[in-house]
Amino acid sequence: MTEKTATVAARIADELASCGVKLVASLPDNWLMDVIKTIEHDVRFTHVPVNREESAIGLCSGAYMGAMGSAALMGASGFMTVIYALTKINYTYEIPLFLMATLRGAVGDHHKHHISNGLYLRPVLDAISMPYQIIEKPDDLGLISRCYHHTRTFSRPMVVLFTRDLLRGGH
Amino acid sequence: MNYVECFRAIARHRTDEIVITSAGNSGQAWWAATRDSVASFYLDASMSLSTMFASGLALAQPDLKIWAFMGDGAFAMNPGMLMVERQMNLPNLTHFLVSNRVYGATSNAGLPNAAHNDYAAIARAFGLERVFAFRDLATLERDFPALKTANAPGHTFVVLEVEPFSDAEQKLEQPPFDGPELKFRFGRHVESLTGCDIFGYRI
């Protein structure tokens, strides 16, 4: 963890805490490891590593029905597996959900196998009419709490997408 | 055991438990047994996630006792959920695995390896310690109070071996609620029990 990535991870944690998030359910993505480690060691959160991304959707949705703030953290590939859970649980019952994911496959990604996410992640989000917010710079991390509030105001899911430059310090 | 009779027996033992049902026949059976429209969340729009949903609720409200039903068809889609449940080890959560050895909601279609799946053994292999299994109503009636023991440590897992729905049972009424109505009925009940504020979110 570099000083730069540690600062970003800490600011993400602070944003979540400022929204009242207590539960963070996660599956790893290499870009997210500093964020996950930071949250895991932060006493403001209960961090639950889950077995698959859909479990995070179920867990966070249930937490909402108990008035606990939550966030689901995952990679772009993982996000692509949760369309069923999101559209069934969160759309059917109008249960808000806040997600954070990686903008894999975009310019700057070093891994060519993420081409599918580069091509289809945003079109899939558009296809299910799910709002998203790309965050590229540390100065924009305040958008996390704005987007979280949006999910609660409109009883809808929303995802924040982090770029590699943001999470890996632009190298 | 007959599926619906099993649920009627469990309903007789219920006191103040909050219930989550799954996609499949469990919502129909619980609705037939209880007609509960406030303290049960019929999570029909979900394959394999009822106990994860219940875990989130149980974590958020540790003073509520949560019962979550799930068919073995749903379990087959996400058995790793038990890793998460064991890790969380919530003492106020009971996971009922309703084993009818078929995909009940889809006309009793065949389930993989149905004859050999040992769900209690799977749960124990994941490290769960409070594991119960019931094959007949008499034993269920006799031993059910033991699994409800107050202040029992850790998460409880219960296998219910039941017969698949008959053709007539497949026509049992589905809980007659649209999603948002169910959310508000159930959520208002949770608010009244706990004093929490689910819907009053303000920026």
* pLDDT of A171 higher than 60: no
3-class DSSP state for residue B100? coil
Residue B31 lies in a domain: yes
Question: Which residue, A61, A71, A5, A52, is CA-closest to A32?
Answer: A5
Average pLDDT along chain A: 96
- Are A61 and B53 an interchain contact pair (Cβ–Cβ within 8 Å)? yes
The 10s digit of each residue's pLDDT in B137-154 is 999 999 999 888 755 788
Q: Which chain B residue's Cα is nearest to A27?
A: B84
* CB atoms closer than 10 angstroms to residue A28: 14
CA A47, CA B69: separation in Å to the nearest integer?
A: 25
Q: Tokens 């944003």: give the residue.
A: A15
* pLDDT number for residue B59: 98
What H or E segment, with its residue span, contains residue B133?
strand B130-134
Query: Contact B59/A46, CB-based, under 8 Å?
Result: yes
Residues of A in contact with B47 (CB under 8 A): 84, 88
Residue at B200 is within a domain: no
The three-state secondary structure class of A88 is helix
Tell me which residue in B46, B48, B60 faces A67 most closely, judged by beta carbons.
B60
A89 vs B53: CB contact, 8 Å cut-off?
yes
How far apart are the C-alpha atoms of A98 and A24, rounded to whole Å?
10
pLDDT for the residue B150: 54
Residues of chain A neighbouring B198 (CB-CB closer than 8 A) = 64-67
Q: In chain B, which residue's Cα lies nearest the Cα of A54?
A: B49
Residue burial A86-113, b: 16+ Cβ < 10 Å; e: rest: bebbbbbbbbbbbbbbbbbbbeebeeee
- The answer to whether position B199 is within a domain reads no
Query: How many domains is chain A built from?
Result: 1
Q: What pLDDT shows up at residue B154?
A: 86
B196 φ, ψ (degrees, to nearest 5): -75, 170
B203 assigned to some structural domain: no
Q: Above 70 in pLDDT, residue A142?
A: yes
Determine the pLDDT at residue A38. Answer: 98
Assigned domain for B202 exists = no
Most A CBs within 10 Å, among B53, B57, B77, B193, to test the A interface: B53
Query: Hey, which residues 136-155 in chain A have their CB within 8 Å of chain B?
Result: 149, 152-153
pTM score of the predicted model: 0.97
CA-to-CA distance for A127 and A124, rounded, in angstroms?
Answer: 5
Q: In this complex, do B56 and A66 lie within 8 Å of one another by their Cβ atoms?
A: yes
- Structure tokens of A99? 């997600």
Q: Is B124 on the interface with A (CB under 8 A)?
A: no
Determine how many CB atoms are found less than 10 A away from the CB of residue B124.
14
Residue type, B146: A
Whether the per-residue pLDDT at A133 is higher than 80: the answer is yes
Domains identified in chain B, total number: 1
pLDDT digits (tens, 9 = 90+) for A18-77: 999 999 999 999 999 999 999 999 999 999 999 999 999 999 999 999 999 999 999 999
Query: Helix, strand, coil % (nearest 5) of chain A?
Result: 50, 20, 30
- DSSP letter assigned to residue A139: G
Cα A10 to its chain centre, rounded Å, is: 15
Using the CB atoms, write b or e for A70-80: b if 16+ within 10 Å: bbbbbbbbbbb
- ipTM of the assembly? 0.96
DSSP state letter for A30: G
**What pLDDT, on the 0 to 100 scale, is given for residue B36?**
98
- Which residue is closest to A151 within chain B, CA to CA? B201
CATH number for the domain harbouring residue B110: 3.40.50.970
- 3-class secondary structure per residue, B20-47: EECCCHHHHHHHHHHCCCCCEEECCCCC
Instruction: Please name the residues between 36 and 75 in chain A that touch chain B, using a CB distance below 8 Å.
Output: 46, 48-52, 54-55, 57-68, 70
- Tell me whether residues A94 and B64 touch, CB distance under 8 A: no
User: Could you give the CA distance from residue B52 to residue A55 in angstroms, rounded to a whole number?
Assistant: 6
The nearest CA of chain B is from the CA of A88 a distance in Å of: 5
Residues (pLDDT < 70) of chain B are: 150-151
In B, minimum Cα distance to A72 occurs at B56
Distance from chain centroid for Cα B132: 14
Tell me, what CATH number does A139's domain have?
3.40.50.970
The residue range of the domain holding B149 is 3-194
Say how many C-beta atoms besides its own lie within 10 A of residue B173's C-beta: 10
